[in-house]
Amino acid sequence: MKVANLLSEVAAIDSFKSYGKVTRVVGLTIESKGPQVSIGELCYIIIGKSSKRKVMAEVVGFRDEMVLLMPFTTVHDISPGSLVEATKKPLQVKVGSGLIGQIVDGLGQPLNGHELPNGLTSFPTENVPPNPLSRPRIQEPLSLGVRAIDSLFTVGKGQRIGIFAGSGVGKSTLMAMIAKNSDADVNVIALIGERGREVRDFIERDLADDGLRKTVVVVATSDQPALMRIKGAMTATAIAEYFRNQGLNVTLMMDSVTRFAMAQREIGLAIGEPPTTKGYTPSVFAYLPKLLERSGTNEYGSITAFYTVLVDGDDMNEPIADAVRGILDGHLVLDRKLANKGQFPAINPLKSISRVMNDLVDPNHRLAADRLRQLLATYIESEDLINIGAYKRGTSKELDAAILAYPSIIQFIKQTTEERVSFDEAVHRLLNEFS
């Protein structure tokens, strides 16, 4: 049987290699005359006369009869006439259980320079989302270990949630809490466009050994080419898809979708796309659903996904935030005002929502969550009057109840990074205090 497989693989090998030649470099793109390739195909640019170093690049478009390539790394030694070798296949990464606990780059290679463990298999980075009719409905809650989310915005296995926040409001800390405390079998965390300094801080301080033990981290820092940041997001999603196909419940966390969109905008502008909304090219809004729809459930397992979205100036209606919110199954809004008050996680219960919560919880749980939000909304509406002493107790029974409950609400939402709360504990406390 093995001999037959080997023979079939040998028969599939192309005995001819197709080459082209670099003609010029324009901005981020490399133009070459030939080879015969298709969009998304992986190519090698051969650099140097003696060492013959190969640089990986991807076909991103065509102009007249020229092939437009974009390299995965910065290219300094490229020259006119450098050979371009076609591979006849798209990018693939190595995946398997041996990858758990590893920190890899956007191409799936270890960041520490070591070799990947044996026993891994090749898996394409770009895949088609599951057929809508083959997706099982989301009917089982996933315990995340974060009291405010489990009780007020219950997340189901296979749900996709956006985390919307400005910079420095606690997105990374919340992601680390979910990675350490959730009941998922495997975590895949993608750090896309992060500052290089923050990568090690996140892994060693926020994630620590407890979180890394069942996690694969994919890193594409902000100094890397736009294509590498795109591939970081695609590679992380592909790794999550592989584990989902093994029947596992996977948690995928991507920080951030905004930097993925910015990288796609760079590529789009470089190949001649017209800028549209706030300078974003049409391909950005075409790629977002292709990326986000790949997570969720399929007939084997589930990917519960959390995508962080940077909102400029805390503007929740900027183009990327608006597009992502329309695709996902709910969103958590981290409020800077709450963070400034020392409330972490800084989740604003009045601006956040889980679109599948009603299918996952019983009526008593739902009523208690609604009651907490109602009390908080009543308090916030009259907060200024309360603070300046203009409100007299007894004027409104509802407001009196809100004032009495407000300290309990804040204490309920607050949670330290070391505190782990089970789903049952979170719901039990919610029912006891607010039902």
pLDDT digits (tens, 9 = 90+) for 112-149: 878 898 889 999 999 999 999 999 999 999 999 999 99
For the chain, give the mean pLDDT. Answer: 90
Shared domain check, 425 and 333: no
Shared domain check, 212 and 130: yes
pTM reported for the whole predicted model: 0.91
Shared domain check, 257 and 372: no
Shared domain check, 135 and 279: yes
261 domain residue, yes or no: yes
Summarize the confidence of residues 381-393 as an average pLDDT: 87
Query: Residue 367 pLDDT more than 60?
Result: yes
Q: Residue 242's domain is classified under what CATH number? A: 3.40.50.12240
Summarize the confidence of residues 49-57 as an average pLDDT: 79
Q: Is residue 1 very low, low, confident or very high in pLDDT (cuts 50, 70, 90)? A: very low
Shared domain check, 261 and 118: yes
Query: Residue 158 pLDDT more than 90?
Result: yes
Q: Mark which of 90, 120, 155 sits at the end of a domain.
A: 90
pLDDT digits (tens, 9 = 90+) for 85-113: 999 899 999 999 999 999 999 999 999 87
Instruction: Tell me which residue range forms the domain holding 388.
Output: 364-434
Q: Mark which of 300, 331, 360 sits at the end of a domain.
A: 360
Query: Residue 387 pLDDT more than 90?
Result: no
Shared domain check, 148 and 282: yes
1 domain residue, yes or no: no
* Predicted local confidence at residue 409, as pLDDT: 96
Shared domain check, 219 and 150: yes
Residue of 121, 67, 118, 57 lying closest to 91 (CA atoms): 57
Shared domain check, 169 and 65: no
Pair 155, 174: CB distance under 8 Å = no
* Predicted local confidence at residue 9, as pLDDT: 63
Summarize the confidence of residues 402-407 as an average pLDDT: 94
* Predicted local confidence at residue 48, as pLDDT: 74
Summarize the confidence of residues 361-390 as an average pLDDT: 93
8 domain residue, yes or no: no
Summarize the confidence of residues 362-388 as an average pLDDT: 93
Shared domain check, 220 and 292: yes
Q: Are strands 302-310 and 249-255 parallel, antiparallel or unpaired?
A: parallel
Query: Residue 11 pLDDT more than 70?
Result: no
Give the relative orientation of helices 397-413 and 423-434 as an angle to the nearest 10 degrees: 160
Domain total of the chain: 3
Shared domain check, 105 and 22: no
Summarize the confidence of residues 20-33 as an average pLDDT: 90
* Predicted local confidence at residue 75, as pLDDT: 75
Q: Residue 33's domain is classified under what CATH number? A: 2.40.10.170
Summarize the confidence of residues 12-22 as an average pLDDT: 77
Shared domain check, 376 and 344: no
* Predicted local confidence at residue 236, as pLDDT: 97
The two structure tokens encoding residue 306: 């959390």
Query: Residue 182 pLDDT more than 60?
Result: yes
Shared domain check, 132 and 185: yes
* Backbone φ/ψ region at 13: left (φ over 0), alpha (ψ -120 to 50), beta: beta
